[in-house]
Amino acid sequence: MRGELEKVVFGQDEAIEFTLAALFSCGHVLLEGPPGVSKTLLVRSLAAALNLNCQRVQMTSDLLPTDLTGASIYREDLHSFEFRRGPLFANFILADEINRASARTQSALLEAMQEAQITYDGATHPLPLPFVVFATQNPIEQEGTYPLPLAQLDRFMFKISVGYPDAAAEQRVLREHHATAGMPAPEQQQIAKVADADQIVAARKQIRETHIRDEIIDYVQRLLHATRDDDLLSVGASPRSGLMLLMAAKSLARFAGRDFVTPDDIKSATTPTMRHRIVLTPGAELQGTTADEVLANLMESVEAPR
């Protein structure tokens, strides 16, 4: 899968790695970065490599919850109401600029992300498996946006920072994509279909069985506790974030060909798993401190097992 994605997306190795980790860990992804750095292309290319259905939704302030979930339509010929499914009934949902939708519309995603189902008019409708929400947001432009509440941020397994590529990767982008006017389509890049939904579900089961030593569990708990005692943080990491961290580490271990988790797996997954779950104090924000810096300092101060 990584090889197929790298045919199209250049210079975004970390984004590719953790996007795949989320897919195999039953997680959702928040992609944050400026426009034009391949966030949308990454998701579309992954769907093409897996032959899965991908629906893109442009999140705007006038979008309604039923625009995502679907609604009941009266059928004149049947003299009854029929539920018409919305775009959420797909394997991959690309919620573009999610912070431009109102809190009411954003909340329509909560049940889908947590339970992989939608409840409408008293009836529960299961979503297809695998089901992954990929949301994008622009960290620069804040006009007309609604900040995501902590309850929704906590549903995202990773917050991946997608920055500008380095010089060599950017030259490759310009060289290979200039003929497409900046809109390369996955099908034009001859992305091969390398897996299907059943294989993804089977791989998820194998990853869940990855062994974790008690020393690793203790290490993760001490990391969580350190976020709650840090003077620069007003909100620390929750037990759920610890579970997400362990699941992410399992995926990274399997990617490396191991059936057990090491402290380095935990360290690699900590920042993308935690950066959106901790809240800086107002004083820390005024000083220009970032969540990534706080997490880096915590990992230096908390002793890892051997």
Residues of the chain with CATH 3.40.50.300: 2-199
pLDDT of residue 10: 87
CB 115 within 8 A of CB 69: no
Residue 3: phi, psi to the nearest 5? Answer: -65, -40
pLDDT at 119: 86
What pLDDT, on the 0 to 100 scale, is given for residue 9? 87
pTM here is 0.88
CATH 1.10.8.80 residue ranges in the chain? 209-301
What are the tokens at 63?
A: 């979008």
**CA distance linking residue 79 with residue 202, whole number of Å:** 43
Q: Using one digit for the tens of pLDDT, what is the confidence trace for 169-219?
A: 889 888 887 766 555 555 556 788 888 889 999 999 999 999 999 999 999
Q: Is 71 helix (H, G, I), strand (E, B) or coil?
A: strand
Spatial CA neighbour of 5 closest among 269, 247, 184: 184
How much is the average pLDDT of 44-61? Answer: 89
Residues 6+ apart with CB under 8 A from 78: none
Rounded average pLDDT over 237-245: 93
Digit-coded pLDDT (tens) for 257-294:
999 999 999 999 999 999 999 999 999 999 989 999 99
Residue 123: what pLDDT?
A: 85
Instruction: State which fold the 209-301 domain adopts.
Output: Helicase, Ruva Protein; domain 3 (1.10.8)
Instruction: Say which residue, 15 or 150, is predicted with more confidence.
Output: 15
pLDDT tens per residue, range 112-156: 888 888 888 888 889 998 999 999 988 766 665 777 888 888 889
Domain 2-199 has CATH 3.40.50.300: yes
pLDDT of residue 165: 87
pLDDT at 181: 58
Q: To the nearest whole number, what is the mean pLDDT of the chain?
A: 88
Give the per-residue SS3 of 165-187: CCHHHHHHHHHHHHHHCCCCCHH
Note the helical H segments in the chain. 2-5, 13-24, 39-50, 66-69, 103-115, 150-153, 167-177, 197-208, 214-229, 239-255, 263-274, 282-286, 291-301
- Given a cut of 90, is residue 227 above it in pLDDT? yes
